[in-house]
Amino acid sequence: MPARVTTLKELAAQLGLSITTVSRALAGHVQIALKTRQRVAEAAHQAGYVPNTAARTLVSGRSGFVGMVLPIRGPNLVDSFLGEFVTGSAKGWFRTAPT
């Protein structure tokens, strides 16, 4: 098994392709030939490449986090509906990692 590739740049260098081409191939862009996409996907799988979550967050501008602002004082601090609301809003947000 080849050495573990930790960055997109390393994967691109290993394949002799540009970083942009490898990134687009992994994203499934149709501008990249199917044969190249398959070659990149296979190399990434064999090398154990895992996309950097922090980098994806920076590029997309989406963190995937949801925030709630709750009062810390006052008579309505404990609301019987709050637990139901949080549970309901969380449904569908959680997903399993692709295999």
**Using one digit for the tens of pLDDT, what is the confidence trace for 39-72?**
999 999 999 898 888 888 888 888 878 777 776 6
Q: How far apart, in whole angstroms, are the C-alpha atoms of residue 11 and residue 22?
A: 8
Tokens of 20: 């942009």
For 72-82, write each residue's pLDDT tens digit.
Answer: 676 666 667 77
- Single out the residue of 22, 62, 19 nearest to residue 42, CA to CA: 22
Spatial CB neighbours of 41, under 8 Å, sequence gap ≥ 6: 25, 26
The predicted model gives 4-9 an average pLDDT of: 80
pLDDT value at residue 32? 96
Give CA–CA dist 21/40, Å, rounded: 9
Q: What is the residue-averaged pLDDT of the chain?
A: 82
Q: Residue 10 is encoded by which pair of tokens?
A: 């390393």
